[in-house]
Structure 1
């Protein structure tokens, strides 16, 4: 059985995750040297060392969820209750005792390490919605019984994240939920009802908090997209330097470690803007490698979802793939000036212990779904017994006695 399991793993997917994570570690080292020297003196590799330790811990997490822990256990009621309680407890507690960083109260400061609960809320929403909607398949088109109840969890989680405030993560959580719901099998009538309810909620929210939503600071994030170089010393500072970095790299880049914008010009060069450093130092080739690797992982995830016969496993694969894809799009679009900056890290590449550990857990679950899907497919094929070959000796004896062939 163990041998069959090992044969059933998708090693191309695993390799893509490992290679992209190692590439991200190298880029974190290159992108963070200036910031590390500025903040910590001679410790030029401060962020690199922290990311390396987080990556090693994430490797252990990945192995547990990819090989040791069967994904179907997550559908058990006890696990779902624990996920709900931990999610609510962590997101509620961070609003009371959390550390403020980047104008958001999103972190638990543990001294040697900081944890961002909102990162793990992404995978908790994926697991919860996938499990609940998989269990409700027999009455998925009953709006009041099959569709609405799980949304209460989503609304509370999103609300707690918005209160930090962390609009980028909240947007990702809602986008993931929408894609899981659209893939759950409910009919178009119920989907349209959800669209109408969502539009009504957004309208009420916008009217109730219009002074906050449409504040001068938030509106400036939209206006700066038109011409970030018009106010390069203030509102356009981040985006203008990001565009300079992207434009400086050309096809092949200036060379690994040779970037200039990371040396005090590009804030958060090792987190939100790391792709700008990739573009400057490795050029279009480096950016293409990152984008194609992410596309490969996402498309692999959707292919796993299509092949998986278990509704829970299929929805899990859709949710995890969508999370990686949506987060990548938001980061790349923000850094290139297509949408306002949201502070969303680039999966597997950006610096961040909570992010890489959550991604390791998610990727491990995705690989586990893939393994069990392949294992079941192969076992079903193996159950078809081939027609036994006729035995030559027996055939000769039978023909000698009867004059006929077997």
Structure 2
């Protein structure tokens, strides 16, 4: 046991770990700064959201440790894969029957976990898609060379993806649908299959995904095409035309970013968070960072997130293990896609989706699952370092 721990300590990816911790703590500080007025308006203590996120981070640390010290190779075991699928389908059914959040956010995306906390199953679905797809492709490659695989060989991942997309789309959480779809495509692209097969697989996902969304749009038209969502599209096209309505949040975000300039107005000195910018501690937290800490604060956050994405892609490129490659590429793509979706909505590049900024925004489900994913990525990195040491004859 002592030798086992010694291997882990010697091969632990400390730069990746410290960047992850820094982003979490930086996000905690900015949640405290951005949420005080929101908490007071809602009749709570000024540090209400700060304390809740601090609790989330404490719990998230244990999920990180679990991910870091549980060997990633086990995720390809059929029993674990079946458990993951069973877990997410159970949570999705639970959500379908007893979900909450539609009145607050327009999406029925949360379930109550025994009164302890609210949990968003779609966050867990992002990670399970990565692990299940990677495990399924890896197991199939043990019997058939990866370059010879075609979509019929991997029908089960397609079925799992269809089931998850159906449930998430039924929540009317469009942002999560796009991210989960992007993650699935990234894992397939990293699997090593032929380009022609990849495009066939992509076409199948697009066909089934489009059919699911089309059917739901037909039967849940009023839930999907809400006034709020239509307003977001109008605001994306021309926010200043709707500055007293759906474009207000985007414009206030622009004002926060413009006010910050290079150096910012100072930590805690944001004006837009004082009731002008709705829920600034969630998907618009980067606007507060830009206002208070200026371009430097934005660069710090993007640099940290960029480093994690870079490390994930680097591990995927250097490893000879296809399972490690797919898991690393999937996690890196997840963080990259979600970051782009959040900042794209903030900057007006794409319509607002309500997606949080990884590690920075307030949210228990997000930080718990992302921390577990970071633990897995570090576990993959440790094994890669250990394998290289063995090849050199040192441990």
Structure 2 residue aligned with 1:51:
53
CA distance, structure 2, for counterparts of residue 373 and residue 145 of structure 1: 31
Residues 1:267 and 2:268 are matched in the alignment:
no
How far off its partner does 1:198 sit?
4.0
In structure 2, the CA distance between the partners of 1:307 and 1:245, relative to structure 1 (3 Å rule), is same
Structure 2 residue aligned with 1:118:
122
Structure 2 residue aligned with 1:150:
157
Structure 1 residue aligned with 2:100:
99
CA-to-aligned-CA distance 1:281-325 (integer Å, 9 cap, x gap)? 001110011011100010011111122222111111111111111
Instruction: Describe the SS at the equivalent of 1:259.
Output: coil
Structure 2 residue aligned with 1:348:
359
Structure 1 residue aligned with 2:30:
27
What CA RMSD, in Å, does the superposition of the two structures yield over aligned residues? 1.9
CA distance, structure 1, for counterparts of residue 84 and residue 201 of structure 2: 25
Unaligned runs of 5+ in 1: 385-406
Residues 1:11 and 2:14 are matched in the alignment:
yes
Structure 2 residue aligned with 1:136:
140
Structure 1 residue aligned with 2:82:
81
CA-to-aligned-CA distance 1:148-174 (integer Å, 9 cap, x gap)? 331110111011001011111111111
Instruction: Describe the SS at the equivalent of 2:111.
Output: strand
In structure 2, the CA distance between the partners of 1:204 and 1:355, relative to structure 1 (3 Å rule), is closer
Structure 1-normalised TM-score? 0.89
CA distance, structure 2, for counterparts of residue 247 and residue 125 of structure 1: 38
Instruction: Describe the SS at the equivalent of 1:106.
Output: coil
Instruction: Describe the SS at the equivalent of 1:114.
Output: strand
CA distance, structure 1, for counterparts of residue 122 and residue 249 of structure 2: 24
Unaligned runs of 5+ in 2: none
8 Å contact 1:242–1:335 — kept in the other structure?
yes
Which of the numbers 60, 64, 68 marks the counterpart of 1:62?
Answer: 64
8 Å contact 1:34–1:264 — kept in the other structure?
yes
How far off its partner does 1:192 sit?
2.6
8 Å contact 1:252–1:282 — kept in the other structure?
yes
CA distance, structure 1, for counterparts of residue 179 and residue 298 of structure 2: 22
In structure 2, the CA distance between the partners of 1:56 and 1:205, relative to structure 1 (3 Å rule), is closer
8 Å contact 1:304–1:370 — kept in the other structure?
yes
8 Å contact 1:249–1:281 — kept in the other structure?
yes
Structure 2-normalised TM-score? 0.92
Instruction: Describe the SS at the equivalent of 1:254.
Output: coil
CA distance, structure 2, for counterparts of residue 167 and residue 206 of structure 1: 10
